[in-house]
Amino acid sequence: MDRSELTIRPIIGLEIHVQLATRSKMFCGCAVVFGDEPNTHVCPVCLGMPGTLPVMNRRAVELAVRTALALNCQISRFSKWDRKSYYYPDLPKNYQISQYDLPLGFDGAFDVPTNEPGGYRRVGIIRAHLEEDAGKNIHDNPNFTLVDLNRTGTPLLEIVTEPDLASAEEAYNFCVELQRLVTYLGVSEGSMQKGHMRFEPNVNVAITCDGREYRTPISEIKNLNSFRSVRAAIGYEIERQVGDWMADRDYVVGRRPKENRGWSDDRGTTEYQRSKEEAHDYRYFPDPDLVPVEIDDAWLETIRADVGELPLARQGRMARDYGLSVSDVVTILSDKATADLFEKTIVEDGDPATLTKLFIGPARKAASEKGVTIAKLPIDAKSWAELSKLHKSGGVNATTMVEMLTIALEHLYNVRQRPEDGA
C-alpha cells in the first residue's frame, strides 16, 4: 500500500514532572541540592526506615497550587496522599507517596502558540498533582549499579494533559511554554541540565484507510529531558507506528498492548522497554501516615494573588502598549522580576524603546557577567528611567549611554565591596 493513500492524524498527550523550588524535600527536612556527593542529603524518612513518619512540606503545596491556578485548573479544597506501590532500587520504601483520585488541581487548560501567526492551541489539563521523586541509578560501571538517594523525596508536580496535541512541533511548543510559565511564576528553576523538568509523551496515531479509521496502541516515551528530544522522539514514534501498522494491520488498540519506550539520542530511535502499567498495577491506597490537604478560601486567595498576570497575556499587552516586538517582550519576560522592573521604569516616565535596547543589550550582558538577573543589578527604576530619558532627549548618544551604565555599575559594586570605616 502506498502511504499517500492514508490520512494520518497523530494523537499526543504529555505527562510532565516539574521539580518544585523548595529548600527541603517533600516529606522531610533534607536539603534539595544538585550535584553534591551521593547520599549526603538523606535521613531515615527519605531512606524509608521502619517507624519513620513523613511531614508534608507546606511550601510545596503552595507552589503546586500556584501552578495549577496558572493552568486554569479547578482546585480541590480537600485532597489526600496515596501510596503508589512499585519496586525499583532507587525507591527505598517500595512505594511512592503521590496523589491518585483527589489531585490538587484538575480540569484545566493551557493555551500554546502554534506556528501560524497569532494562532493558539488550547490543551486540556487533566490533573496536576504532587508526589515525591525517586533516587538515581548510576550505571558508570558495567559490573554493578550504584544508587544515589539525594534526590529521593524531592517535591515534584506531575502535570497530565489531554491528548490534544497534533504534532511533534506542537508538543515542543507546549514544553517550551510550560518551562517559561513555571520559571516566570518562580515555582521551579526549570533547568533541563539539572533535571528540573522531565517529559513523557503518550503517542498513538489515527490512520484512515478506505474510509475506515484504525488507531495504533499508545506508547509512552519515558524521561525525556530536553525540548529537542521531545520533538525528535515524537516525530520518530509517529513514523514507527505508521510503519508497523502498514506491516501488520493487527497493530491496533485492543490487539497489541500499550508500551513504555525509551529514547536513544545517539541512534535517534525509540526502543521497547516494557508493557505500560495501568493504575490497578500500582495498588493505590490512602497513606495512613499523612493527613489530607485542606485548602480554605483565605489560603487559596493568598496563593491566587501571587499568580498575577500570566506570561502570554502580559506578552500581548506589553507588545501592544509599548510598541515592542514579540521577541523583545519574550526576552524581557524571561524573568518576572526584570519584567516588573521594566514596567516600573516606564511608570517613572522611562522611554520603552530605549529601555528595551538597554535591557536586551548592555544591561543583560552586565547581569550575565555578575551571574544575576537585570532586576538584581543595583540600579532602581527611577535611575533606569533617567538614563533612558537622557538618551531620548539627545543629551547622550547610545555609546555614551552604555559607558555611563558601565561606570555606574562599577562604582555601585565597588561601594558595596568597600570595607566600612574602622573595620
Mean pLDDT of 74-88: 93
Q: Residue 412: which pLDDT band, with cuts at 50, 70 and 90?
A: confident
Question: Are 78 and 138 in the same domain?
Answer: yes
Residues 263 and 395 placed together within one structural domain of the fold: no
Do 287 and 350 share a domain, yes or no? no
Of the three residues 260, 294, 328, the one that is the final residue of a domain is: 294
Q: How many domains does the chain have?
A: 2
| Residue 331 falls inside a structural domain | yes
Same domain, 115 and 214: yes
pLDDT, greater one: 281 or 77: 77
Where a domain ends, among 227, 259, 294?
Answer: 294
Asked whether residue 167 is domain-assigned, the answer is yes
pLDDT recorded at residue 416: 64
Indicate whether 257 and 345 sit together in one domain.
no
pLDDT of 113-154, one tens digit each? 887 777 888 999 999 999 999 999 998 888 999 999 999 999
Question: What does the pLDDT read at residue 88?
Answer: 82
Instruction: Classify residue 351: in a domain, yes or no.
Output: yes
Average of per-residue pLDDT values in the chain? 93
> Does one domain contain both 327 and 281?
no
The predicted pLDDT at position 54 comes to 96
> Could you tell me if residue 301 is inside a domain?
no
The yes-or-no verdict on residue 279 having pLDDT over 80 is no
Q: What does the pLDDT read at residue 364?
A: 94
**Residue at which a domain ends, from 271, 294, 317:** 294
pTM: 0.89
Q: Is the pLDDT of residue 422 over 50?
A: no
Domain enclosing residue 185, as ranges: 3-294
CB-neighbour burial class of residue 59 (10 A; exposed 0-12, middle 13-18, buried 19+): middle
pLDDT (tens digit per residue) in 22-62: 999 999 999 999 999 999 999 999 999 999 999 999 999 99
Residue 422 lies in a domain: no
Residue 344, in any domain of the structure: yes
Q: What pLDDT sits at residue 369?
A: 92
